[in-house]
Chain A
Amino acid sequence: MSEVESCIPLGMDREVSRRNFLKTAAWTGAAFSALGIGGFGVAVRRAEAQGEYKTYEGLGDAAILQFAYQLELLEGTFYAEGVNAGLFKDAFLEQIVAIRDHEMAHADAIATTLEQLGAEVPATPQFTFPNGTFGDAATFLELAATFEPVGIGAYQGAAPALKSKNILASAISIHNAECQHRCAINILNLITPPNNLAFEEALPLQKVQEAVKPFGITG
């Protein structure tokens, strides 16, 4: 999976995640201070301003959902192929089936919302996966472990940029499901303890786009 590997953010360690959280917290201090609610060190903090959500701000709710819809289809297709390949049995199979169903339910829900918004539901992209992805459980699970943080990072990055609070409520729920998937995939990868992150990490739009481009999402 060499050509893909380089494009996907691999496992994020706790320190990195904590650092980013604190960076966000610091930035918040600057934002609040700018609003005149106190705080200190404004100039320093503003210099550190990052805010992944800013990279999603120009898109608008419909475009964010259209992108999310394709991500869900990618994930759902990936897990469906994994089930069809007969790589798993028992508890492992049940988990992969459940994740497949979750991703498809997410895609359906997003499509419904797009229709309500009067926005176009994107055509299903022609997905491509690296050779051997569905050849054995370990290779499949390795890719699964890279997919989930991308989904998490996309939702977490996009959520604050959403205008509709209703859409935000569902996006943050779906985000949570993706985080639960990350932990479940850790369990299937025999990583103990599987709950090994103190803070989930947001990803800027460009990082997500780079990560999924090799699989056929070019939007």
Chain B
Amino acid sequence: MENHTINVPGAEEFARPRSRRDFFKSLAVAGAGATAASLLLSKQASAKTDDVDIANFALTLEYLEADFYAMALDADVLSGDALGVVENLADHEAQHVDALKGLLDSVGATPVEKPNFTFPTDAFSSQASILDLAATFEPVGVGAYLGAAPLISSPDILAAAGSIAGVEGEHVVALNWLLGIVPYANEAFPKAMTLDEVSAAVAPFMGGKMLSTGGPKLSPEERYRLNQAYRLGQL
């Protein structure tokens, strides 16, 4: 069942990614860029490694948001309440980037590099266009963290993810306020997203590349084998 809303906690209806393999499926088929695919193929991915992948995945999203808001401020088209909100958005996302990099560093993992993001040509032309795009980013951030949270093994990384996810939720509300959406906080159960959904939402900004988790790069042969396996329904 395709379910984008959490209705009843603990019920079987959570059509969320039920396994790490589900969650990382779209990374595996992505092709371009580094992926976690070889880990999937080898079935040797440890829980700890998956936590690192998830943290790097989150870092990529935070890079995207931080870049977007920094460019939005540079565009110099914001004023009043919108300026104040976006200044904080830029600040928060930059802090999330720092925190996730620090977290990865502290466990001896390598934070992914910041990709080159692409934004629509008119993305920064007006306050309205900035707020519209921001309002599409933030629920994706929430959904990604909520979708990934049950897959995280380390309670400490989970606590950190929850802390950041909540802030992304606040961002949704602040943007609703600026956009005149009433009530500002209007979800009893904010939605989790699968990685496929998150990847589809951010693909237009990734310059043709899918999200990187910092895993080993696939050789052309590996990629071919993987894609064949998917085509044949073996994965």
Contact = CB atoms under 8 A, between A and B. Distances in A.
A31 interface: yes
Contacts of A101: 188
Contacts of A201: 163
Given A91-B182, A172-B146, A174-B189, A194 B162 contact: no
B172 A187 contact: no
Interface of B: 6-12, 14, 16, 48, 81, 84-85, 87-89, 91-92, 95-96, 99, 102-103, 106-109, 142, 145-146, 149-150, 154-160, 162-167, 169-174, 177, 182-192
A150 interface: no
A183 B48 CA distance: 33
Interface string A11-33: 00000011001101111110111
B81 A192 contact: yes
Contact of B88 (A94, A171, A196): A196
A170 B184 CA distance: 21
A54 B150 CA distance: 18
Interface residues of A, number: 77
A116 interface: yes
A192 B202 CA distance: 29
Contacts of B149: 159, 168-169, 172
Given A31-B156, A176-B166, A184 B81 contact: no
B162 A28 contact: no
Given A21-B160, A156-B162, A173-B189, A198 B95 contact: yes
Given A105-B189, A156-B166, A176-B142, A166 B182 contact: no
Contacts of B177: 187, 194
A18 B95 contact: yes
Given A94-B183, A166-B11, A199-B164, 8 more contacts: A109-B9, A113-B10, A160-B159, A169-B9, A170-B8, A172-B150, A184-B183, A187-B174
